[in-house]
Amino acid sequence: MSESKRPFIISTDTTSDLPEEFVKANNLTLHRLHYIVDGTTYGDDIELEITDFFNRMRNGATVSTFATNPDKSKEIFRKQLSEGYDILHIAFSSGLSSAYNNSVIAAEEVLPEFPGARIEVIDSLAASGGQGLYVWYALELQKAGKSMDEIISWLKDNKLHTCHTFTVDDLAYLHRGGRISKTVKIFGTLLNVKPVLHVDNEGKLVPVKNVRGRKKALLTLVDQMEEHLGNFRPADENKMICISHGDCIADAEFVRDEIKKRFGYENFMISYLSPTIGSHAGPGTVALFYMGRER
């Protein structure tokens, strides 16, 4: 498609787990994914404080999630197009949610109302801070004066360089989500096994290894980073590193400090997991995101 002369907006989903202050500072539009806690739906007019959400999980609350509503996305797209903007929407991984497909449907239904307008929906194949990091780079390119097509080209070229590695503190949530068997959950809990996982090239969660103990699991996140950095080692090629956590800021800061010590990086964005991601990973999750040679 030829480049439009209209200004463009970058938007994403709440699963990008970007800090609220960053979202406000960049006037970033978020398409909301919803979550249910003990029968009450949150995500539109009512929200739980994030610490309250994780505390409820710790106390045994029943939680579930569902994807973006195409009708809500159509409302957002229609409003932005009517204000004279084109839209570059960076969506939650199609390997983990229907959010990307819902956004594509919404765009296709709204665009005929606005001849000459443009909506580009990008499947990030990313989640949490990985999606957030992808958005961060897109915004930086926009601030540098790059066109929508130039940003899309960068996003396509670098999609599989966006590395995700994370560990969980309680195997119960992975078991509940069908990621591990009941037997693995029981014996893993007894042996204090902490799984380390990552998001693969199809945007799906894949186990990497199991380690004994929390500290070892956190250090393994940094070990994996060292393996994945490759040609991206120079600090100027990792302009931002994201760390998301399930209400365990001290552990996120431990990982940050270890990265500073090993590699000399200084720019970090630490944030809570959103309820959508936290529902599946659980309290105590620590997730690390950066640009590397490969996922």
**82 pLDDT higher than 80:** yes
In this predicted structure, what is the pLDDT of residue 165?
96
Does residue 186 register a pLDDT over 50? no
The model's pLDDT over 8-38, given as tens digits with 9 standing for 90+, comes to 999 999 999 999 999 999 999 999 999 999 9
The answer to whether 197 touches 206, Cβ cutoff 8 Å, is yes
Identify the residue with better confidence: 53 or 234.
53
Q: Report pLDDT for 183.
A: 47
What domains sit in the chain, N to C, each tagged with a CATH number? 8-159 (3.40.50.10170), 161-291 (3.30.1180.10)
The 10 Å CB-count burial string (b at 16+, else e) for 158-178 is ebbbbbbbbbbbbbebbbbee
Asked whether the CA dihedral 197, 198, 201, 203 is positive or negative, the reply is positive
> Using 50, 70 and 90 to split pLDDT, how confident is the model at 276?
very high
Structure confidence at residue 180 (pLDDT)? 52
The pLDDT of 208-231, averaged and rounded, is 92
Percent of the chain scoring above 90 in pLDDT? 78
What residue type is 111 in one-letter code? Answer: L
pLDDT at residue 236 above 60?
A: no
Residue 280 scores a pLDDT above 70: yes
**Where are any strands of DSSP class E within 183-253?**
193-199, 205-212, 241-245
Confidence of residue 45 (pLDDT cuts 50, 70, 90): confident
Query: CB under 8 Å to 132, separation ≥6 — which residues?
Result: 12, 16, 17, 18, 242, 244, 269, 271, 289
Query: Is pLDDT above 90 for 148?
Result: yes
- Mean of the per-residue pLDDT values for the chain? 91
pLDDT given at position 187: 43
Q: How confident is the model at residue 190 (pLDDT cuts 50, 70, 90)?
A: very low
Q: What is the predicted pLDDT for the residue at 189? A: 52
Radius of gyration of the chain (CA): 19
Region 93-119: mean pLDDT is: 96
